[in-house]
Amino acid sequence: MVSWKNPDELSSFKELCSDTHRADLKTLMSGEHSAKRVADYKVAMSSGLSYCFASKAVDDEILSKLQALADEAELSAKFRELYNGAVINTGENRLVLHQLCRGQLGDPVIADGVDKHEFYTHEQAKIADFSDAVHKGDIANAKGERFTTVVQIGIGGSDLGPRAMYIALENWAKANNKLRMKAHFISNVDPDDAASVLKSIDLEHSLFILVSKSGTTLETLTNEAFVKTALKAAGLDPAGHMIAVTSETSPLAKSKDYLAAFFMDDYIGGRYSSSSAVGGAVLSLAFGADVFARFLAGAHAEDVLDTNPDIRKNPAMLDALIGVYERNVLGYGTTAVLPYSQALSRFPAHLQQLDMESNGKSVNRFGEPLSYKTGPVIFGEPGTNGQHSFYQLLHQGTDIIPLQFIGFKHNQTGMDTVIEGSTSQQKLCANVVAQIMAFACGKDDANANKYFAGGRPSSIIVGEQLDPEALGAILAHFENKVMYQGFIWNINSFDQEGVQLGKLLAKKVLARDCDGALRAYSELLEI
Amino acid sequence: MVSWKNPDELSSFKELCSDTHRADLKTLMSGEHSAKRVADYKVAMSSGLSYCFASKAVDDEILSKLQALADEAELSAKFRELYNGAVINTGENRLVLHQLCRGQLGDPVIADGVDKHEFYTHEQAKIADFSDAVHKGDIANAKGERFTTVVQIGIGGSDLGPRAMYIALENWAKANNKLRMKAHFISNVDPDDAASVLKSIDLEHSLFILVSKSGTTLETLTNEAFVKTALKAAGLDPAGHMIAVTSETSPLAKSKDYLAAFFMDDYIGGRYSSSSAVGGAVLSLAFGADVFARFLAGAHAEDVLDTNPDIRKNPAMLDALIGVYERNVLGYGTTAVLPYSQALSRFPAHLQQLDMESNGKSVNRFGEPLSYKTGPVIFGEPGTNGQHSFYQLLHQGTDIIPLQFIGFKHNQTGMDTVIEGSTSQQKLCANVVAQIMAFACGKDDANANKYFAGGRPSSIIVGEQLDPEALGAILAHFENKVMYQGFIWNINSFDQEGVQLGKLLAKKVLARDCDGALRAYSELLEI
């Protein structure tokens, strides 16, 4: 049995916080010896990726203290408890099983009377059969014509993750002859969101996926009604154009309103659901079930690496520990995610949800208030675009913001052009490595406007190309990093009570059951 | 003459910082009297908008101290110097004239031997004539067929602002029969960005706008070459499909490679250039010059309000002062921008650039290091989507993040549907007011997981509908807010030296003129 303790009860954490030793990033990354540091300070990930942390403000002494914290906090053992089926989500009394969609890491997990790995793989097989039939035209519209477009209706985890994954692979799929159906997403209750998507697609050849675990999410049911109205207005039968991804106990599960229903369960939170039927249905329809299987394989291979208790062999655990060091020892409150890949344009928004919704907590897993900082703010945009925008503050602002870069040797489309002796892809890569060095080492200048203090830490995940396996591995890396940080902070990373109060108050506004400022604001917006 | 001093030399600022009085937001926003606060604590903006700050942690006592700071820092007089043509951008020895594109606020501004207001309006007139001719088909492709698509090639300020403005008005334009040409944007040097846009459009009927002030921006020239290669491959003459937006002195200005050239100058920084030819060309082509003129009129009306020395009548100045109070007195390092409007989906990314690139500085306008914090990190996503994502941390995380909401009474498309007794637009509005109250007042709960501390400050900009005037007004509001914060912090908000070092190092990488860690990183990415 592991022991769940706040970090400030652990001697390794107290030692880390009281230690005045610091790694001088500028010195460590300057001069000839710095090449060796870049070679040494990296950890192999799966799918040919590496996690490189030479530009983080750590040295061997700090790393050994972080290993001690990993050991004393029993991080590896806690992950083992999780994947073996312990009730890790204590607040909601639930298991946490998203990794199990990707493969079996430990013992069989039996819940609700079934083997959960079998349950997830069974749903994947159902999705594969369904998407194959759609691609072959065996499942088609009322005229017997093939569906060409798939539209996911969902919000939060049912939207951000699957949307980011779709965008990440769309160009790869085109280049590799794998784009079976174009995907769109409707999420916001703003009626202009649904209206805009519906105007841009060919309704008669569109298949809609309604994603709601409970079958009661306000935005999603509202948008479903919006879509059904549009289908009927076009003379189409909604039941012939819709499938559901939901829990077996939801009202949607056995409804005749859907061509098919695929199941998820309470053991996978929305923000962790890209690996489940929530991501599986739309990605299998868009790219084929084989591509989704490759994505899961990449994620599973990463999960396996992330079980290792040695932080020099476990990239997610190491990343988590360095993040805690930056947050609780160095006092940095924000992290930027900066992929040098246009395909990852919505990946920072997904990580923002994953990290901030999981670890933005002020009580520990027993409901006790905390006296230390937990999850940071996460934001980001793709490079090189960000270089011409908010990087100014990252370089010369009054706060230090740790940076997470992601870069690939090869682009996805294979199209490129040589200008002034280099390809665009080479320019892209040259820019990311240049930025790492500029942030780490800065530059002296007699003109204070042109002076860069340096000492601004970053890490980079480097890969060959953003393909399905690499994408799965990167996703798993960050999910596991967030999980390990939650373990260190002794919080429950798998509930989200902070989203409830607003929902309740919105209902009161719509029922005109409110007074004081809330009523006054409602009048201001003429509700 | 105004006096440029650091705020810590001003007695009003010192008093603000040493004062222990705090406004208790939870108490102020609870109970019946809170309705009056909502009614009182708002300032009229132009175009029917209001800036509402009842949910900020300020009261009359703090507001009077902020007015004293505004007076002592001579904010209104500094803005007057700026719009009358003083060299406010001292680092680059330049005037700052973006407001002059929208209207004349003060004296005629003569620079480079011309009246600059006449120069900007002349360029607008040239753009209007050109876009009218394109819409009528008088300027057409080699076959005499109309151009249907416009593609902006630019990065940073030449991309984010115009793109955010286009997305903001696209659905409004469709609903009001104003969408003349569909717009696309190519920005990233990642070759997959250009490849993806080029694959999705009809090249033969596309007009490209190359935007580069100097005519030397690496990403933009690379993407131009990419586009030209594609045009030639399709048997088209690039010179018949391209226009340029550049400075009069750039190599692009008189080139035969472009159908036309429209001019900007050194007095408008990239991030402030949506009101110049940089935004004007693409927005006039997309929506018509009349729509762009309405956008400028809304912005100018806001500029006029923002000259007022009374903070209760000057929304941008008040917003700026409250932001400084939150940053320097309350110690909050991040601000979230949360528009409840899908049309504003990229507006936070634009504000992120505008604010972080302008005020992410560590030296004052004389190049002296500062001992106080300057610009915060800015991030955001549209609601209600964010509610199902990172709002968890905003509600229950260990840091307080001030929030900027934006909401409208009416949607843009006019399409809507009633579910459970309310429209989607009503649900959207109910959610934003519910969130404001949840953040301000929180909720007691015996279960610590469900406890909300409250006291989390926000403001909201409320409008009738997001139309061109309202969009212009909102843009001007934030530009002027950022300007006033720069005045208070005594920094130069109009240069961006922090983006230079990375560019230099990237050139060294591409020239293989580097060693140590930089060389090692380059090898890792196989450059």
Nearest by CB to residue B448, choosing from A368, A393, A527, is A368
- Provide the pLDDT for residue B218: 83
Closest C-alpha among B369, B488, B358 to residue B7:
B488
How many angstroms away from the CA of A286 is the closest CA of chain B? 17
Segment B496-505 mean pLDDT:
93
pLDDT for A100-113, tens place per residue?
999 999 999 999 99
Q: CA dist A18 to A10, A14, A324, Å? A: 12, 6, 14
Burial group, residue B40, by CB count within 10 angstroms (0-12, 13-18, 19+): exposed
Q: What pLDDT, on a 0 to 100 scale, did the predictor assign at position A491?
A: 98
Q: Do B525 and A225 touch (CB under 8 A)?
A: no
Phi and psi at residue B49, in whole multiples of 5°? -90, 160
Separation in Å, CA A230 to CA A44, A155, A216 = 50, 20, 21
- pLDDT band at B268, cuts 50/70/90? very high
Hey, how many other C-beta atoms are within 10 angstroms of the C-beta on B254? Answer: 10
pLDDT band of A215, cuts 50, 70, 90:
confident
pLDDT value, residue A5 = 98
> Which residues, listed in sequence order, are joined to residue A185 by a DSSP beta bridge?
A152
Which residue of B211, B521, B522 to mutate against A (max A Cβ within 10 Å)?
Answer: B521
Characterize the bridge pairing of strands A149-153 and A206-211: parallel
Residue B1: pLDDT above 90?
no
Active-site position among A170, A357, A469, A479 = A357
Map residue B313 onto helix, strand or coil.
helix
Provide, as residue numbers in chain B, all residues whose Cβ is less than 8 Å from the Cβ of A221.
419
d(CA A235, CA A233): 5
A3 reaches B (C-beta below 8 A): no
A197 touches chain B (CB under 8 A): no
Q: What percent of chain B has pLDDT over 70?
A: 100
Mean pLDDT estimate for chain A? 97
Q: Does A155 touch chain B (CB under 8 A)?
A: yes
Contact between residue B401 and residue B332 where contact means Cβ atoms under 8 Å apart: yes
CB pairs under 8 A between A and B: 504
CB within 8 Å of chain A, chain B residues 422-481? 422-438, 440, 442-443, 447-453, 460, 462
Q: What is the DSSP letter of B346?
A: T
Q: Who among B333, B383, B497 is closest to A449 (CB)?
A: B497
Partner-chain contact B271 A389, CB within 8 Å: yes
List the structure tokens of A420.
Answer: 């002034």
Mean pLDDT value across residues B246-269: 94
A391 vs A403: CA distance, rounded Å: 11
Assign 3-state DSSP to chain B and report helix, strand, coil percentages, each to 5: 50, 15, 35
ipTM surpassing 0.90: yes
Instruction: Indicate the pLDDT class of residue A98, thresholds 50, 70 and 90.
Output: very high
Question: What does the block give as tokens for A8?
Answer: 């400030």
Asked if residue B91 lies in contact with residue A449, where contact means CB atoms within 8 angstroms, the answer is yes
Phi, psi of A150 (to 5 degrees): -125, 135
* pLDDT score at A457: 98
Q: Give the minimum alpha-carbon distance from A108 to chain B in angstroms, rounded to a whole number.
A: 31
What the block records as the tokens of A329 is 């020892």
Using alpha carbons, select from A219, A474, A480, A502 the residue that is nearest to residue A359: A480
Dihedral-angle region of residue B255 (phi above 0 means left; psi in -120 to 50 means alpha; beta otherwise):
beta
Q: Which residue has the higher pLDDT, A91 or A25?
A: A25
Structure tokens at A454: 């340096």
Nearest alpha carbon to residue B395 among B347, B338, B353: B338
> What is the CB neighbour count within 10 angstroms for residue B171?
25
Kindly list the catalytic residues of B. 357, 388, 503
Question: Mutation test of the interface with chain B: which of A231, A351, A389, choosing the one with the most B Cβ atoms within 10 A?
Answer: A389
Is A505 touching B (CB cutoff 8 A)? yes
Q: What is the pLDDT of residues B297-352, one digit of tens each?
A: 999 999 999 999 999 999 999 999 999 999 999 999 999 999 999 999 999 999 99
HSE-CB for B116 with a 13 A CA cutoff: 27
Q: Which residues contact B1 (CB under 8 A, 6 or more apart)?
A: none
Q: DSSP letter at B455?
A: -
Using the Cβ of B411 and the Cβ atoms of chain A, whether some distance falls under 8 Å is answered with yes
Q: Is B1 on the interface with A (CB under 8 A)?
A: no
Contact A155 B401 (CB under 8 A): no
For the whole model, what pTM was predicted? 0.97
Question: What CA–CA distance (Å, rounded) separates B401 from A377?
Answer: 9
Q: Could you confirm whether A122 is annotated as catalytic? A: no
Choose among B29, B393, B433: nearest Cβ to A356: B393
Q: Residues 6 or more apart from B418 whose CB is under 8 A from it?
A: none
Confirm or reject contact between A378 and chain B (CB < 8 A): yes
Chain B within 8 Å of A490 (Cβ-Cβ)? no
Tell how strand B418-419 and strand B422-423 pair up.
antiparallel
Rounded CA separation B277/B272 (Å):
11
Of chain A, the percentage scoring pLDDT greater than 90 comes to 97
Measured between CA atoms, the residue of chain A closest to residue B370 is A398
Q: List B459's β-bridge partners, or say none.
A: B404
For residue B219, the model assigns a pLDDT of: 86
Residue range A291-304, pLDDT digits in tens? 999 999 999 999 99
Q: Decide if A503 is catalytic.
A: yes
Under 8 Å CB-to-CB from B329, ≥6 apart: which residues?
A: B16, B17, B19
Q: Give how far B117 is from chain A: nearest CA, Å.
A: 27
Distance between CA atoms of A42 and A34, rounded to whole angstroms?
Answer: 13
Minimal Cβ distance to A499: which of B52, B368, B388: B388
The yes-or-no verdict on residue A216 having pLDDT over 90 is: no
**What residues contact B19, with CB distance under 8 A and at least 6 apart?**
B65, B329
Range from A252-256, B265-269, B515-519 carrying the lowest mean pLDDT:
A252-256
Q: Which of B172, B189, B221, B505 to mutate to test the interface with A (most CBs of A within 10 A)?
A: B189
Average pLDDT over residues B236-263: 95
Residues of chain A contacting B191 with CB distance shorter than 8 Å: 411, 413, 415-417, 423-425, 428
Closest residue in B to A173 (Cα) is B196
Q: What length does chain A have?
A: 527
**Chain mean pLDDT for chain B:** 97
pLDDT at B216 over 90: no
The pLDDT, as a whole number, for residue B191 is 95
Segment B103-116, tens digit of pLDDT: 999 999 999 999 99
Q: Residue A419: which of B50, B222, B519 has the nearest Cβ?
A: B222
The one-letter code for the residue type at B516 is: G
- Residue A139, chain B, CB below 8 Å: the answer is no
- Burial pattern B406-435, b for ≥16 Cβ within 10 A else e, equals bbbbebbbebbbebeebbbbbbbbbbbbbb
